[in-house]
Amino acid sequence: MRRWAPAILAQALGWLLASFILQQLAPAWRGTFPEAAMAGGWAAIFSQRLHEPGWRSPMQFGFSLALWVGLHSIIPGWAWAVAFALSLLMFGGGLTGRRAPLYLTQSRALDALLACVPENLDGNCLDVGAGLGSFQRRLAPLRPRLQFRGIERAPLTCLLGNLRCRLADCGHITMGDLWQADLQRYAVVYAFLSPEAMPALWQKALEEMQPGSLLLVNAFAVPDVTPQQAERYGDGDSDVIYAYRLPGPRGP
């Protein structure tokens, strides 16, 4: 609960400030959609001021709008409960651990990932936070000497991803937590997490992965560590695959 206290505080402050401003300047707008938009804007600002992860600012804005819509909608309450339950099953992995939301690997990033994995590499490959299995489905047929596996925290996402991978005969995805997983037996580990998780991920890789193994990360570089390879797949600052070779004598 303490992890989410700043987010709750930002949302509450946003609504209080918006309510106060409209009470002074435009009382007729109280309880309207513009008030929700103003509250969301202030909540996004407060989220930044409280040093929350950057991805939470747009979530704060959207939550204020969704809250207003929910309170003024004719949709029955059970429908919102069902939608919330499905969202939790699909995206709930980001609510625990080190706050890594569901990021789906873009199709254009898969070729960049392929360029980082040598064709003659043997061993096991693990996708941590596997989502819907796009990484495995793309790389497994082209790197047949690797054995692919994924782990995913969100139950519904894991179920769908595992089904897609098994139907394509490219490994499997099971429920699991990166921070509890043992990375020792993997020649390649792929992660698309969040900036906040990178230092801990690198430390875990240093402690558990074998020398010469590959750690591939999407978008968020490991701070203060120079990658062996960086493959750009788009024009955005974060459209990069970073490949880190774990220190030691083991070759590709």
238 CB contacts (<8 Å, ≥6 apart)? 219, 220
Secondary structure of residue 6 in the 3-state scheme: helix
Q: What is the pTM of this model?
A: 0.70
Tell me what pLDDT residue 251 has. Answer: 45
More confident residue, 93 or 10: 10
Is residue 55 a contact partner of residue 31, using CB atoms and an 8 Å limit? no
What the block records as the tokens of 71 is: 């309170």
pLDDT at 222 over 90: yes
Q: What is the pLDDT of residues 44-74, one digit of tens each?
A: 999 989 987 676 788 889 889 888 887 777 6
What is the C-alpha to C-alpha distance for residues 6 and 43, in angstroms, rounded to an integer? 10
Tell me what pLDDT residue 100 has. Answer: 54
| Torsion angles phi and psi, residue 215, rounded to 5 | -110, 115
Tell me what pLDDT residue 90 has. Answer: 60
> What length is written for the chain?
252
**Model confidence at 179, in pLDDT bands (50, 70, 90)?**
very high
More confident residue, 78 or 13: 13
Cα-Cα-Cα-Cα torsion 74, 77, 80, 82, nearest 10 degrees, comes to: -140
pLDDT at 98 over 50: no
- Identity of the amino acid at 150: G
- Mean pLDDT (the chain) is 87
Least confident of 31-35, 95-99, 180-184, 205-209: 95-99
